[in-house]
Amino acid sequence: MHMSTDSLLVGEVWLATVMGADAGVRPHEANQMISDAVDLLVQIGIRNEVRRVVAISKIAKDLKNGDVFFDSVYRYVEEFSAMEPHWEELSENFC
């Protein structure tokens, strides 16, 4: 799936989970199913007319306030030149 933000992606996956499962799936259960099934989110965007990985996030296995939680690991640094792309490490706990 492709979405511009991680929260939009979760919304789409959540909707697909609820629609594809029994009608009795509660939002909390759908969110838990998503966090159990997805380990990593790789977000791709177009920068300087080139597709680039713009963010990598780990999906927490435990919900935070009933929502899927993303722990950002890397992000694309917009300030660098297109010829020398650079990603910033945001978390040392990648694995």
Residue-wise pLDDT for 10-58, tens only, equals 666 666 665 555 567 777 887 888 888 889 988 888 888 889 999 999 9
Nearest alpha-carbon partner for 16 in 36, 1, 6: 1
Does residue 3 carry a pLDDT above 60?
A: no
Torsion sign over Cα 13, 15, 20, 26: positive
* Domains of the chain by residue range: 6-89
Cβ(34)–Cβ(15) under 8 Å? no
The answer to whether the predicted template modeling score (pTM) of the entire model surpasses 0.85 is no
pLDDT at 93: 64
Helix (H) or strand (E) holding 13: helix 6-20
Residue 30 in 3-state DSSP?
helix
